């Protein structure tokens, strides 16, 4: 287990060298949030709320979901790069699980993003726009647990995209489609409160709203404790399904791997 902590440590330290990139990322996300909130401010006009959804709730959704989406950035091309240059064979020879090493590397990068990117972004936008606080201490803890489960779902979806490298030369198109779908159906680009009911019913059968929207609803206290428990069950079920699919793809993908040169 200590080996994987070294992966986390190395990834964290590597991210520390890109300070300018981090600052530009904070600026870019803040500008995106400011522009989106300005548009929604115009749409709300003098209305206090629309369908019981206040402007402050929308702002909080944007700040948290956009900040987390940047912090939870996962490299969909890790396996593809290793296959293309032939170095994936070296990974199979190491006395570690390659998939767990990828996860550990991602965790190190995300830990840095949360500290040096997410927290400053939330602080800056809170000062200039303002976001709602958690609806209570219990909801804060439940929010953190749901965010962890949401990240696992996000990472497993990314791992499935990465596993497709065994069958597809370039996964760029799949990764792009995945990012668009997650952006729309997770509520990070458009709060799902404003989605048509028929669309929401479809989204409820997907794992995407479990990534950001459900945790934010818990944060805001817009759903009951009973509903929160149901959301946890949904998240766990999707984790089991996605993990199983990822493991199957990994098992069969290794068998069809052919590396020439390197």
User: Residue 146's closest CA among 70, 30, 227?
Assistant: 227
| Cα distance between residue 32 and residue 157, in whole Å | 25
Domain ranges within the chain, ordered by starting residue: 2-255
Range 202-222 burial, b when 16+ CB lie within 10 A, else e: ebeeebbbbbbbbbbbbbbbe
Cβ-based burial of 126 (10 A; exposed 0-12, middle 13-18, buried ≥19) = middle
Tell me the two tokens of residue 50. 């629309």
Tell me the two tokens of residue 119. 């927290």
| Cα distance between residue 99 and residue 118, in whole Å | 26
pLDDT in tens, the chain (262 residues): 688 999 999 999 998 887 788 888 888 888 988 998 899 889 888 887 888 899 999 999 999 998 899 889 888 998 998 888 878 888 888 888 899 999 999 999 999 999 988 999 899 988 888 899 998 899 999 999 999 999 999 999 999 999 999 998 889 999 999 999 999 999 988 899 999 899 999 999 999 999 999 999 999 999 999 999 999 999 999 999 999 999 999 999 888 776 655 4
Contact by Cβ (8 Å): 51, 145: no
């Amino acid at each position: 287990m200590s080996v994987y902590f070294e992966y986390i440590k190395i990834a964290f330290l590597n991210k520390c060298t890109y300070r300018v990139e981090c600052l530009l990322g904070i600026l870019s996300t803040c500008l995106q949030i400011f522009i989106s909130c300005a548009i929604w401010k115009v749409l709300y006009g003098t209305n206090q709320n629309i369908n019981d959804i206040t402007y402050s709730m929308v702002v909080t959704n944007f700040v948290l979901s956009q900040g987390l989406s940047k912090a939870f950035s996962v490299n969909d091309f890790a396996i593809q790069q290793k296959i293309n240059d032939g170095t994936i064979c070296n990974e199979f020879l190491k006395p570690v699980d390659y998939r767990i090493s990828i996860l550990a590397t991602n965790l190190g990068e995300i830990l840095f993003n949360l500290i040096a990117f997410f927290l400053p972004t939330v602080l800056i936008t809170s000062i200039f726009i303002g976001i709602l606080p958690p609806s209570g201490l219990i909801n804060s803890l439940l929010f953190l647990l749901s965010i962890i489960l949401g990240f696992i779902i996000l990472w497993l979806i990314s791992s499935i995209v990465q596993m497709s490298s065994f069958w597809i030369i370039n996964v760029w198109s799949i990764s792009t489609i995945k990012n668009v779908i997650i952006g729309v159906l997770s509520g990070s680009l458009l709060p799902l409160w404003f989605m048509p009911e028929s669309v929401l019913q479809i989204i409820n059968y997907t794992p995407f709203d479990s990534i950001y929207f459900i945790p934010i609803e818990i944060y805001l206290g817009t759903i009951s404790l009973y509903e929160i428990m149901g959301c946890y069950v949904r998240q766990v079920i999707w984790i089991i399904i996605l993990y199983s699919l990822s493991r199957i793809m990994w098992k069969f993908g290794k068998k069809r791997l052919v590396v020439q040169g390197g």
